[in-house]
Amino acid sequence: MKTIGLLGGMSWESSIEYERLINEGVRARLGGNNAADLIIRSYNFAEIEVMQAAGDWQALGKRLVADAHWLEQAGAEVLVLCTNTMHKLAPAIEEATSIPFLHLADATAVAVADAGLVSIGLLGTRFTMEQDFYRSRLEDHGLVVLVPDEPDRTIVHDVIYGELVRGVVNEASKNAYLGVIERLLERGASGVIAGCTEIELLVGPDDVDVAYFPTTQLHAEAAVAAAVGD
């Protein structure tokens, strides 16, 4: 079994979710007392949030590149960046390391395509919804990506940063998200991508009557497959 290096998540809420899903996946594949071989670099999200808000992506890139290099030197054989938003910096991380980098958008796009869908709604942070680093990667797989209009993008973003990264799960926020999803479907989306780990704490597949793609689960499954040699 290969050693997986986990870079992030940016909030510990998402870090724990990645660890849980990967460990459960390894146990399901290998049985017994097997668990994933992980090396983890977790972060103080308060510092990351300030740098994101300031648009200091250069400093964030330097930090993630250095930490990715450290994970590789520590023995990681597969690298997983445990956050959708920070995939903005994925090219720099891939360039700085020599081990396989499992891009989250690729794992997601494969799942959407396997479901036979083309037009897909994308929820995430404002960075993920409004910038093209993530959407264009999905579009490279032949998908048509729809993001919420305003004020829906603000609703989605503010709930992530104001509630979910703090472990707050609010029923009113859940209903607001379901409304955002409904409006995406009205615009032509055939399914929806939960493009932020913390969103999966609020809305799950059983909450919607449409194809739902939890990116953390899909990314974790790809990491397990890479680690056990599938």
Rounded-to-integer distance, Cα 24 and Cα 35, Å: 8
Q: What pLDDT score does 35 carry?
A: 96
Extract the runs of DSSP E, i.e. beta strands, from 56-132.
78-82, 119-123
Q: What pLDDT score does 182 carry?
A: 97
Structure token pair of residue 97: 């390391």
Can you list the domains of the chain with their CATH numbers?
A: 4-103+218-228 (3.40.50.1860), 105-214 (3.40.50.1860)
Where the chain has pLDDT below 50, the residues are none
82 is catalytic: no
The SS3 call for residue 85 is helix
Rounded-to-integer distance, Cα 85 and Cα 23, Å: 23
Element (H, E) at 8: strand 4-8
Q: What pLDDT score does 230 carry?
A: 63
108 is catalytic: no
Q: Which of 82, 125, 196, 197 is catalytic?
A: 196
Cα of 31 vs its chain's centroid, Å: 26
The SS3 call for residue 121 is strand
Give 157-189 pLDDT, tens digit per residue.
999 999 988 889 999 999 999 999 999 999 999
* Ranges of H-type helices in the chain: 12-30, 45-53, 57-73, 90-96, 104-114, 126-130, 132-139, 152-162, 171-186, 215-228
Eight-class DSSP state of 11: S
Q: What pLDDT score does 227 carry?
A: 96
Count of beta carbons in the 10 Å neighbourhood of residue 42: 17
Q: What pLDDT score does 9 carry?
A: 79
Q: Indicate the pTM of the whole model.
A: 0.90
The SS3 call for residue 41 is strand
Q: Which of 82, 83, 85, 215 is catalytic?
A: 83
